[in-house]
Amino acid sequence: MPEINAYLNAPKKATNVSLAETLLTEAKVLRINISQAAEAGVAKAVAEKRAALWVAENWAAIESSNAYVEKHGLPLEKYRMF
């Protein structure tokens, strides 16, 4: 999964985005770069969605592993130092 900063030097493509007028005005007053903020927000949303999809796709394996540990304990538990 790419880190959010991985998109910083990627080629850019112009797009139209609709934002609440008051939000846009406040961002401009605060000198927030709208493009960078939008890109960071979309990159974060992509990362979160990818993570959620990974969990959904691997749910059966996660549950199986949890059931095994619940029934048999951790495989190398006797070697744990904590």
Provide the whole-model pTM.
Answer: 0.72
**For range 45-70, the mean pLDDT:** 96
The C-alpha atoms of residue 5 and residue 50 are separated, in whole angstroms, by 16
13, two tokens: 């493509």
Region for residue 31 given its phi and psi (left: phi exceeds 0; alpha: psi -120 to 50; beta: otherwise) = left
- Residues spanned by the domain of 72: 4-79
Q: Provide the domain count of the chain.
A: 1
Residue 58's alpha-carbon distances to 21, 33, 52, 54, 62, in angstroms, are 41, 38, 10, 6, 6
Instruction: Average the pLDDT over 54-79 and give the result.
Output: 94
pLDDT at 1 over 80: no
The pLDDT-based confidence of 39 (bands split at 50, 70, 90) is very high
Mean pLDDT across the stretch 16-38?
96
DSSP state of 78: G
Amino acid letter, residue 56: A
